[in-house]
Structure 1
Amino acid sequence: MLQTRLIADPDSRPFDMPRLVELLSQNSSRPRYAYMVLDLIAKIANPDGSAGPLVVHDGKAISIRDWLCDALVPMANSYPRRMALAARVREEMKRAGGLPADPAQADQDIESEIRARIRASGKTNVSRAVSDLVRAGILHRHYQGYRVDHHNRGAQRQAVYTLSPTARKLLLTDRARSAPPQTPRQGSLAFG
């Protein structure tokens, strides 16, 4: 496969959103999913383009991978597939003897197990999409941890994703263009 990277080439055409989509399609087997992951990372990125290792959501700090998985859960809520998973989980819990007699408690336990399984498979999908984005040169990944930052995970290190400067400029410009204009309120000062 031809490896196309996000590198400034004076002879190439300007880098814009169609070029980003083309780059994703060349480097990912699931470019739409990779774009959704990239868009979510861009939405929570700091001004320097980095996101992670923790994201504060509903007053709790969770890892960026868990946050991305939770944000993409609606993609896994296809009704027939979810019903089949619920039936499998119910049967497994019944066979193992771990299904409570109370139907409400049983439904709650089954739902909890379904969420755990969806998050586990979601982490694999997110990691694969991030690897595609790294391979394309759109995103950089390193691991930040307890003692030392490192390019490999382990030793309680968690992922930090950083948009490349070109991708950051493109995605943040696109976000600024789509945001409604802010009207100043009376008594507020704009500091530039």
Structure 2
Amino acid sequence: MVLHLIAEIARSDGSAGPYVDTPGERVSIRDWLCDALLPLAHRDQRRQAVIAKVREQLKSDGKLPEDAAAADATIEQATRDHVRKSGRCNVSTAVSDLVRAGLLRRHYQGFRVDHHNRGAQREAVYTLTAEASAILQGRGGLPA
């Protein structure tokens, strides 16, 4: 599913990222992938537990508005932020698996371009390999 989502937003050269323009904001590709995968988690009981945990944390911090609609919006945003943090790790793991399988290439762009230190205000760029493009277009089998 991650490969398919990357393919949907890839440019003509097969690359996607480091940012994706969405209505109202520009987000990193990893955050975009997390948000795109979020509907799968809505039915998950763990998500309901996260919502309850976030609600309690906001309440104990005194950050939960009195108005029910405002409280719901605050809880939804805080839950989204919480899920995004953990989702970034899951997306990175999935992408690493796709890189090892030879279906994606990954490099980083930003303040320190192609620096050995992966941090330094850089964001990932994912590029589909020829094998991945062939598989997604239905022309090839799985790579050896």
Fold agreement, TM-score > 0.5: yes
With structure 1 as the length reference, what TM-score do the two structures score? Answer: 0.65
2:44 & 2:105 partners in 1: Cα distance?
35
Alignment coverage as a number of residue pairs: 139
For 1:96, the equivalent position in structure 2 comes to 61
Q: Deviating runs (4+, > 4 A) in structure 1?
A: none
For 1:57, the equivalent position in structure 2 comes to 22
Q: How does 1:9-28 map to 2 (within 5 A)?
A: none
1:174 aligns with 2:123: no
**Against the structure 1 CA distance between its residues 156 and 133, is the aligned structure 2 distance closer, same or farther, given a 3 Å change threshold?**
same
Offset, 1:152: 4.8
What whole-Å deviation, never above 9, does each CA across 1:105-145 have from its counterpart, x for those lacking one? Answer: 22221111111111111111100100111111211111011
Give the structure with the higher percent strand. 2
Offset, 1:79: 5.5
- The CA RMSD measured in Å over matched residues stands at 2.1
Corresponding letter in the other structure for 2:99: V
For 2:41, the equivalent position in structure 1 comes to 76
1:86 aligns with 2:60: no
2:4 & 2:101 partners in 1: Cα distance?
15
Corresponding letter in the other structure for 2:21: V
For structure 2, which runs of at least 5 residues remain unmatched after alignment?
140-144
**Against the structure 1 CA distance between its residues 147 and 91, is the aligned structure 2 distance closer, same or farther, given a 3 Å change threshold?**
closer
Match of 1:122 among 87, 97, 113: 87
Report the 3-state secondary structure (helix = DSSP H, G, I; strand = E; otherwise coil) of the residue aligned with 2:57: helix
1:79 & 1:122 partners in 2: Cα distance?
14
With structure 2 as the length reference, what TM-score do the two structures score? Answer: 0.84
Report the 3-state secondary structure (helix = DSSP H, G, I; strand = E; otherwise coil) of the residue aligned with 1:72: helix
For 2:142, the equivalent position in structure 1 comes to none
Match of 1:109 among 74, 89, 95: 74
Identity of aligned residues (%): 62
For 1:32, the equivalent position in structure 2 comes to none
For 1:183, the equivalent position in structure 2 comes to none
What whole-Å deviation, never above 9, does each CA across 1:75-109 have from its counterpart, x for those lacking one? Answer: 11115433322222222222222222222222221
Larger Rg belongs to:
1
Offset, 1:61: 2.5
